Amino acid sequence: MSAPVLARVDGVRACEVGVVLCETCGLVLPGELAWRGESCPRCRASVRTRRPRSLDNTRAWLLAGIILYFPANLLPVVYTSGIGGAQDSTILSGVVSFWRAGAWDIAALIFTASVAVPVAKFLGLEFLLWSVRRGSARARISRGKLYRFIEFIGYWSMLDVAVVGLTCALLQFRTFERAEPRIGIVFFCAVVIATMFSALSFDPRLIWDTPERG
């Protein structure tokens, strides 16, 4: 089987000099290993020039995350009870409660991690998918930075889950108050997992596969 020919983009490409990079351990290998479907001799990972069905897998996980995002925000994430009564709180109602209590920093932190970050990942990944499918050759460096930014903010996606867990743990030490997680937190965890897999499925090398248009 002959190796696929990729267009030149901004200098010499790995395929043009007959090499491929192992995504797992970073070892530079002969390109023939990828064409023959062999594994990396150092880490035994599959050697591929591009991730198979990258765009389709990214879109599928992204749609799953968007669908799960609605129950994650509409259903209660925590139940609290005490002298002042009992109530179920959603993510947004929790943000409002912290804000009214004067804890603006915690409210802003939860809003950023639970609302702004997922929406930013949705929009960023959708833009990357659209630009690659469209065959755009514009702003490739900026799009590469956008992908790395999406990867970075993904590390903070579970912050809301941590806040709920910490709140429940702290209230257990108070005699007349208690807190329990609710089903909404399960959906939120599912959103985080779906968007994480969506970002991992996207192959940023596809950004550079479109030739310059003169």
User: What are the pLDDT digits (tens) for 157-197?
Assistant: 666 666 666 665 555 555 445 667 788 888 988 998 899 89
Compare 171 and 4 and report the one with higher pLDDT: 171
Q: Can you tell me the mean pLDDT for 30-59?
A: 81
- For residue 11, pLDDT over 70 is answered with no
User: All domains of the chain, ordered by start, with CATH?
Assistant: 1-49 (no CATH), 54-208 (1.20.140)
Share of the chain above pLDDT 90, in %: 19
Least confident of 25-39, 63-77, 110-124, 151-165: 151-165
Mean pLDDT of the chain: 78
Q: Can you tell me the mean pLDDT for 30-45?
A: 78
- For residue 76, pLDDT over 80 is answered with yes
- DSSP for 35-68 reads HTT-B-TTT-PBP-SS-TTHHHHHHHHHHHHHHH
Q: Is the dihedral of CA 199, 203, 205, 208 positive or negative?
A: negative
pLDDT at 4: 46
Q: What is the pLDDT of residues 80-118, one digit of tens each?
A: 665 556 677 788 887 887 788 787 887 887 788 888 888
Residue 43: other Cβ atoms inside 10 A: 13
- For residue 44, pLDDT over 90 is answered with no
pLDDT at 179: 65
**Count of residues in the chain:** 214
Q: Can you tell me the mean pLDDT for 48-74?
A: 91
**Distance of alpha carbon 107 from alpha carbon 92, whole angstroms:** 9
pLDDT at 129: 94
pLDDT at 114: 83
pLDDT at 8: 47
- For residue 72, pLDDT over 70 is answered with yes
